[in-house]
Structure 1
Amino acid sequence: MIDPNTIFNIKTEQAFTLKALEVFKFQFENNRVYRSFCDLLYKTPSDVKTLRDIPFLPIQFFKSHTVLSSKDTIKTTFTSSGTTGENTSKHHVTNLKIYEDSFNLGFSHFYGNIEDYVVLALLPSYLEREGSSLIYMVNALIKQSKHPESGFYLNNLSELKSTLTALDSEGKKTLLIGVSFALLDLVETYKFHLKNTIIMETGGMKGRRKELIRDELHSILKDGFGVNTIHSEYGMTELLSQAYSKGNGVFNCPNWMRILTRDTEDPLTIQNTGKTGGLNIIDLANINSCAFIATQDLGSLNADGSFEIIGRFDHSDIRGCNLMVL
């Protein structure tokens, strides 16, 4: 077994690489689905010397297989959203503390102490179903904020408007985290001039609206809320970590998460920085499932490790926690 604390204590690139290679060896030996995938590619730990050598499991496997590297009891199963009859992703979690440590440490790394914020959540499509990892995370952040005003909002936009306006005028630091279509509904109904509020979108139109490119969405939201920048959260059912953008669609990862891009024509080839490709994610918090995932998102990686989302592969289903399609 690998001590999860060693994952969250990573400080350097060398330490990340060493831990990622250790996790790869562990999952090769303990994850039946991932082992079968590696065997098909003729990849063993002796063949893997760098991050580029690691096989990345296509994210679709979370829909068709039980992806586990642990024999411990499953504590909860996070599921992706989907239309009736659609096969959804299932992320079986045997240790919820790892997820909690990941989102708590990730948030504090980028935004500081959660107790400094009133947390308001406008996530109707997620609240209306069970199994959302995003709801689990935001619910925990709301409780940890310890502000009586913190909470979820569903269809009560007028109450949210009053609360948001009052908090901002009182100078209280406020975080409004919302799914894209609901934030658009809010600014189409009310106009704001916020000075002490962070607006964070989690992506996703959920079939309620036509997809918008990021620049268009953010322009509408900036104008509607009266803010200079729109923040974004990048996460998904199959991950236990999140990346954050504080504006301009440039995301940064916590120390235990990395992005690589793969060639769109040759998925086994990892590209150099600056080129648009499929996003491969290393999320070491996924120690008990699979830490190496080939997503259906398209993006580019910058030299400093930050990344941008460009869109999605054609014919791939639109998932709730992903950003806009071009």
Structure 2
Amino acid sequence: MHSELVSESQYMISDQDIFTISSHKQFEKIALKVFRFQYENNLVYKEFCDFLKVEKQSVKTLQQIPFLPIQFFKNHNVVSNTNEIQETFTSSGTTGMIASKHLVTDVSLYEQSYRNAFSEFYGNIEDYAVLALLPSYLERSGSSLIYMVKDLIELSNNEHSGFYLHNYDDLISKLVELDNAGQNILLIGVTYALLDLVEKQKYELKNTIIMETGGMKGKRKELIREELHEILCDGFGVQNIHSEYGMTELLSQAYSLGNGIFECPAWMQILIRDTEDAMTYVCNGKTGGINVIDLANINSCSFIATQDLGKKYPNNFFEVLGRFDNSDIRGCNLMFI
């Protein structure tokens, strides 16, 4: 399926344009078209750009594009068209915090994004049994992660695929049985629940990918990635722990196949901004704030300044190092309107 997303003749961007990007030059060309479209059609983003005194015609490179602080998704309707809202994805947030909301007017873009990315990084979904251990996400509504995993479970066409809530014993027996039988397995789990599994028993898995989605959700003390992955590798008997980098405000995900080094699909890139000056960027290997370009977000905002800290490496690889605390967001203070 593909559709024309932007009808104005000077833009003419389709979902096919987005999901067939094959070079950085092509990415930049489409990203600049998306910027111009969103400046014209997204009132929140236009006001933000105008506040920064950035004129649409002056933006010629990715580095000149303003990145909307992710906090705007908590207090504003960030949309670039007037179409009916098909899905509203919300962040989990702790009690008393305002949840982010991502208003999605074309959910097929999300489906194309994660299906294409999964295929790019892992091959045919039908080669896997998908076992999902996502209790804190499953127990609330509006999770974009649950939407994605539910679809992947259905697409796997495997009778053993499914969600597990607190029935750890059932999951353990299924996991061991399938792995021993030579079935390729994707076990995708929230971090604290995966730790629960390896505390129950040790495994020697030969055919299983362990993918952690991050977050202790207040259930355990936070661990640095190296320590966490060492515990999980030892507990599951695997060489690497895979990770997914995604968020409510994005319709695309980056994946790490091990060692905490993430790679973006072709329609997603990151830039690392200076923590002291949000409008400048640091070079590869230097720590800064993660800015994400997600072209699948064409109907909301494709240019988002996250609250994550990271480093970028050559070939569009990057590492996530943690989050800003409030005292660290000096470079973002000018961004609130």
Instruction: Give me the TM-score of the superposition, normalised by structure 1.
Output: 0.96
Q: Could you say what secondary structure the match of 1:134 adopts?
A: helix
The structure 1 residue matched to 2:321, chosen from 310, 313, 318, is: 310
Q: How does 1:216-231 map to 2 (within 5 A)?
A: 216-231=227-242
Which residue of structure 2 aligns with residue 244 of structure 1? 255
Are 1:260 and 2:271 matched, yes or no? yes
Which residue of structure 2 aligns with residue 133 of structure 1? 144
Moved more, 271-280 or 162-171: 271-280
Are 1:4 and 2:15 matched, yes or no? yes
User: In percent, how many aligned pairs have the same letter?
Assistant: 65
Q: Residue type matched to 1:36 in 2?
A: E
CA distance in 2, matches of 1:272, 1:70: 35
CA distance in 1, matches of 2:246, 2:20: 21
The structure 2 residue matched to 1:111, chosen from 93, 99, 122, is: 122
Superposed CA RMSD: 0.8
Q: How does 1:188-203 map to 2 (within 5 A)?
A: 188-203=199-214
Q: Residue type matched to 1:21 in 2?
A: L
Q: Residue type matched to 2:235 in 1?
A: G
Q: Residue type matched to 1:51 in 2?
A: L
CA distance in 1, matches of 2:22, 2:14: 16
The structure 2 residue matched to 1:79, chosen from 90, 94, 97, is: 90
- Quote the offset at 1:72 in angstroms: 0.4
- Quote the offset at 1:285 in angstroms: 0.2
CA distance in 1, matches of 2:286, 2:160: 44
Q: Which runs of 4+ in 1 moved over 6 A?
A: none
Are 1:151 and 2:153 matched, yes or no? no
After superposition, give the CA deviation of every residue in 1:215-268 in whole Å (9 maximum; x if it has no partner): 000000001000011000000000000000000000000000001000001111
| Unaligned runs of at least 5 residues, structure 2 | 1-5, 7-12, 328-337
Instruction: Give me the TM-score of the superposition, normalised by structure 2.
Output: 0.93
The structure 1 residue matched to 2:61, chosen from 50, 74, 78, is: 50
CA distance in 2, matches of 1:278, 1:235: 15
CA distance in 1, matches of 2:320, 2:95: 28
CA distance in 1, matches of 2:97, 2:324: 19
Q: Residue type matched to 2:198 in 1?
A: V
Which residue of structure 1 aligns with residue 177 of structure 2? 166
Are 1:95 and 2:99 matched, yes or no? no
After superposition, give the CA deviation of every residue in 1:92-133 in whole Å (9 maximum; x if it has no partner): 000010000000000000000000000000000000000000
